[in-house]
Amino acid sequence: MNEEAIKELTQKLITKFELKRKQSFIPASVWFSYGSNLDASYFEEKMRKYCSKLTLSDTHPSRATLRGFRLMLDNRSSGHVLAYAIHRQEGECVRGITQEIPSAELANFLRMEGIVKRTETGRYEVMKNPSYKIIEIDVEADGATKPAFSLEGMRPRLRELNQYVEACKKGAQAWSIIDSTPFSEDLKWLRSKP
């Protein structure tokens, strides 16, 4: 990715997600990661799908803690149906890692996360309905607090899942020979999520 394309993409990200830019995207940006990005082989496999040779060790990972957020399995994912996401919740914390994503790899990283797509002309655009919202946070890592970007889940996804399971339950009840108990249990679980 050339410098002009990087600047164009970062401006689109700043505008779409209303970023205040506590840090720059160039030459690299610090990201707080959680979930499957913690596994080196899985991270590298996902990056290869976007023609990237970026490895987890290339990102200089470091243990980190994000306070005031909670980790939940409630975000829609094109790759694995549901994905982990963070949501603001006072008094909670999420453990993960910080990663330094080189600006030349930013588009590939964000494509892998369902934020950016590559157009037919080779330009990068923020997706109309991205999988996550890019947020700016302060994270504790290496004995200090530092600014980072992270990916916050899009809450409406859980509501859509709730509607889907409710329809399944109603359908099972309408056919009376199909046990609706599993759907009722899943609805209870979904409704217990904040």
- The CA distances from residue 17 to 24, 110, 136, 150, 189, in Å, are 15, 13, 10, 12, 31
Q: Quote the pLDDT of residue 120.
A: 94
**Distance of alpha carbon 162 from alpha carbon 168, whole angstroms:** 10
Per DSSP, the three-state class of 59 is helix
Q: How far is CA 1 from the centre of its chain?
A: 22
Q: Quote the pLDDT of residue 145.
A: 96
pLDDT tens for the chain, 194 residues long, are: 888 999 999 999 999 999 997 889 999 999 999 999 999 999 999 999 999 999 999 999 999 999 999 998 888 776 667 789 999 999 999 999 999 999 999 999 999 999 999 999 999 999 998 989 999 999 999 999 999 999 998 755 566 777 888 898 888 888 877 888 888 988 887 777 66
**Distance of alpha carbon 106 from alpha carbon 84, whole angstroms:** 21
Tokens of 27: 């030459």
What dotted CATH number matches 3-154? 3.10.490.10
Nearest alpha-carbon partner for 107 in 84, 89, 91, 123? 123
Q: Quote the pLDDT of residue 82.
A: 78
Q: Quote the pLDDT of residue 35.
A: 92
| Helix ranges, 18-145 (H) | 40-48, 106-112
Tokens of 35: 């979930």
Q: Quote the pLDDT of residue 139.
A: 97
Strands 144-153, 132-141: pairing is antiparallel
CATH 3.10.490.10 domain extents, the chain: 3-154
27 preceded by a cis bond (ω within 30 of 0):
yes
